[in-house]
Amino acid sequence: MKDTQAVNIPELSGNLDRALLEDAIRQFGTPLYVYDLERIAEKFNQLKQAFGGRKTLICYALKANSNLSVIKKLASLESGADCVSLGEIKRAIMVGIPKYKIIYSGVGKQDFEIKEALSLGILFINVESKEEMLRVEACAKELGIPARISVRVNPDIDPQTHPYISTGLKENKFGVGIEEAKGMYLYAHNAEFLEPIGIHFHIGSQLTKLKPIAESTQKIAKLTHSLIALKMDIKFFDIGGGIGITYSDENTINPYDYAQAILEELRGLDITIICEPGRFIVGNSGVFLTKVLYQKENQGKNFVVVDGAMNDLIRPSLYEAYHQIVALKNPNTESASIQADVVGPICESGDYLGKNIVLPVLESGDILAVLSAGAYGFSMASNYNTRPRCAEVAISSGEIKLVRKRESFEDLIALEKDYL
Ligand code: LLP
């Protein structure tokens, strides 16, 4: 009889049961990303409902996971899109996200990108500096299309997260200070080709505390009141993304409390709230599956060598991020027998998926599931060591579908055909 025991911690990995995962591996091999589309919808709806009847637009941050099937699912739920490149904008349009629900952020937009965004008629461009705003103005003038903009304000608040993913402090490269923002709004208000319709901040990612978000909202709401008093028509209040998820035992932000805290600070403002969640929607809706190749002991230290590596999932190497790892054949750690580093085949000491992971007795060919891998997993994957990027699979209504093929060697060299 088939054993359909669910992976021990479904909360961290979508409700993906073991039989389905094994089936996916039989069909598509490893390493492999598997996403639960129903879990993605559930998380999206949870956030949407948290804001109740308030005018809200959820613009999913594509950078977390831009697989077309994932974003098509979100498009069907009426999500907007927070994009940071023309590529992401094109992906969003491809799956049917209306242009008037697409926003374009990022610190270094170039003229050709700005012009294309203007020609496409997206909702607005988030500008991150005075210099960038002037470029947007020049591009808009050249095209004869007024540019709807929002200024990214840096509230200088400590988000209390990993320094690499903290963005709302004055030492970070993002946005402008409150006084500078005010000056930019005054300039834009009087400029023929600029239409300041939004205000934006994003203080960091994997936030587990509400207070820094509430404090930032309060600061930016105050600025918004003063802009409205100057007769500016600010229609959108963009609170960025950043809601954290549970990777191990973190207590994170409840979407209802999140919405309440923001609504509280926005009392008296008739404005549409935009939020840009990425990780919250997809993080715990995906797993990364990898096969055990060898086990080795090096002078008392255990290693499990697997076929997945830092090029597939770079978060542990890059941020020392923790992802729970379980053996698919026996996800309960009670029968644990070894403690080992789970490492990949790449030629770097930093190539690991987990350190000191407690695992049952393993054999070559066993599968390990790296949980909470739906966000910033495949989207940050690379071809380092000329490793083809792995396949992606989506599960919906119990059906397994390949949503991105495994790359081949030919794919990797396709753009180098004319080598010397
Ligand atoms: N909006 C803006 C302007 C952002 O910069 C980001 C993320 C988001 C929204 C979405 O944030 P989320 O809701 O996913 O936290 N690679 C890192 C995370 C980098 C986040 C960059 N910005 C990681 O793997 O933890």
Ligand 1 contacts CB of residue 165 (under 6 A): yes
- Measured from the Cα of 152, ligand 1's closest atom is 3
Q: Are residues 293 and 318 in the same domain?
A: yes
Q: How many CA atoms lie within 13 A of 401 on its CB side?
A: 13
Q: Is the pLDDT of residue 8 over 70?
A: no
CATH number for the domain spanning 158: value is: 3.20.20.10
The rounded Å distance from CA 317 to ligand 1 centre is 17
Range of the structural domain that residue 44 is part of: 37-281
Please name the residue that has the structure tokens 């909360």.
Answer: 11
Is residue 377 a part of any domain in this protein?
yes
Is residue 277 a part of any domain in this protein?
yes
* Local confidence band at 11 (pLDDT 50, 70, 90 cut-offs): low
Cα 32 to Cα 159, 299, 312, 392, distances in angstroms? 33, 31, 9, 6
CATH number for the domain spanning 290: value is: 2.40.37.10
Q: Are residues 221 and 290 in the same domain?
A: no
Supply the pTM of this predicted model. Answer: 0.95
Distant-in-sequence, close-in-space partners of 377: CB < 8 Å, separation ≥ 6: 33, 65, 286, 288, 312, 313, 315
Closest Cα to residue 288, out of 15, 62, 6, 35?
Answer: 35
Q: Are residues 211 and 313 in the same domain?
A: no
Q: Are residues 200 and 341 in the same domain?
A: no
347: annotated active-site residue: yes
User: pLDDT for 207-254, tens place per residue?
Assistant: 999 999 999 999 999 999 999 999 999 999 999 999 999 999 888 999
Which of 102, 103, 205 to mutate to test ligand 1, by most ligand atoms within 8 A of the CB atom?
Answer: 205
Ligand 1 contacts CB of residue 376 (under 6 A): yes
Q: Are residues 97 and 239 in the same domain?
A: yes
Q: Are residues 291 and 348 in the same domain?
A: yes
Q: Are residues 65 and 167 in the same domain?
A: yes
Q: Give CA–CA dist 370/348, Å, rounded.
A: 20
Is residue 420 a part of any domain in this protein?
no
Domain termination site, one of 219, 246, 281: 281
Distant-in-sequence, close-in-space partners of 245: CB < 8 Å, separation ≥ 6: 206, 252, 279, 280, 283, 284, 372, 375
Which of 63, 126, 379 to mutate to test ligand 1, by most ligand atoms within 8 A of the CB atom?
Answer: 63
User: pLDDT for 319-362, tens place per residue?
Assistant: 999 999 999 987 665 566 899 999 999 999 999 999 999 999 89
Is residue 161 a part of any domain in this protein?
yes
Ligand 1 contacts CB of residue 166 (under 6 A): no
Ligand 1 contacts CB of residue 61 (under 6 A): yes
Domain termination site, one of 281, 306, 325: 281
Ligand 1 contacts CB of residue 279 (under 6 A): yes
Whether the Cβ atoms of residue 371 and residue 342 lie closer than 8 Å to each other: no
Is residue 419 a part of any domain in this protein?
no
What's CA 92's distance to the chain center, in Å?
14
Overall domain count for the chain: 2
- Determine which residue's CA is closest to atom 8 belonging to ligand 1: 241
Query: According to the model, what pLDDT value does residue 15 have?
Result: 58
Q: Which of 83, 275, 347, 390 is catalytic?
A: 347
* Local confidence band at 132 (pLDDT 50, 70, 90 cut-offs): very high
Q: Are residues 18 and 49 in the same domain?
A: no
Q: Are residues 235 and 303 in the same domain?
A: no
Q: Are residues 124 and 261 in the same domain?
A: yes
Which token pair is 379?
A: 């989207």
Q: Are residues 188 and 237 in the same domain?
A: yes
